[in-house]
Structure 1
Amino acid sequence: MTLTLQPIRVATGFDEDGMMVLDRQRLVAVLVRLADDNEVAPGHWYLEAGFGRIDGASHPTFASLDGAQDWIAQRLARHP
């Protein structure tokens, strides 16, 4: 599965560096990079929003964009 990342600013009020995650030109998730001074997970990527199969109560953080993409791809593959 090939996911496409597109940088975007996200109006969260604090951490605004984001990535739209697209699967075949469909928006499936929005990730936000947490600030380096974040107390919980500095520099990690947070699942700000998930759509379709990515939607749910869980909004995990990821140490890298690769990790986030792997998690998203697994969720998309799990539900054909």
Structure 2
Amino acid sequence: MTLRLQPVQVGTGSYDVDGHLVFADGFLAAVLVQLSGFHEDLAGMWFLEAGFGLVSSATQPTFTDLDEAQTWIEQRLAHAA
């Protein structure tokens, strides 16, 4: 499986606009958004704004960086194999 991240501005309705679309083997798997200073201690972390299929989650996690987010996504998708 190959993940590809595409930078994008996300209209979340808040101060959090910098994001990435995450494609897994060409299919959209997730939308990640970087948390702004509005979130104080969480500023700079990445948030699962939306996950699709196996990447969907009842509780949307936060990640310290994009590498951690990608690892989490890969683990979720590995359950399909």
Q: Above 0.5 in TM-score? A: yes
Letter in 1 for 2:56: D
Q: Give distance in 1, aligned partners of 2:5 and 2:57.
A: 21
CA distance in 2, matches of 1:56, 1:71: 11
In the superposition, the TM-score normalised over structure 1's length comes to 0.92
Cα shift at 1:38: 1.5
Mapped to 2, the partners of 1:55 and 1:46 lie a distance apart of 13
- What is the number of equivalent residue pairs in this alignment? 80
Deviates more, 1:35-44 or 1:52-61: 35-44
Unaligned runs of 5+ in 2: none
Task: Tell me which residue corresponds to 1:31.
Answer: 32
Which aligned pairs between 1:1-80 and structure 2 lie closer than 5 A?
A: 1-13=1-13, 14-80=15-81
Corresponding letter in the other structure for 2:32: L
Specify every segment of 5 or more residues in structure 1 that has no aligned partner in the other structure, as ranges.
Answer: none
TM-score w.r.t. length of structure 2: 0.91
Write out the 4+ residue segments of structure 1 that deviate beyond 3 Å after TM superposition: none
1:24-63 Cα deviation digits (max 9, x unpaired): 1100000000013413511000000000101120200000
User: Partners in 2 of 1:37 and 1:54 — Cα distance?
Assistant: 26
How well do the aligned residues superpose, as a CA RMSD in angstroms?
A: 1.2
- Name the structure with the higher helix share: 2
Q: Match for 2:62: what amino acid? A: T
C-alpha change, 1:59 and 1:40, in structure 2 (3 Å) is farther
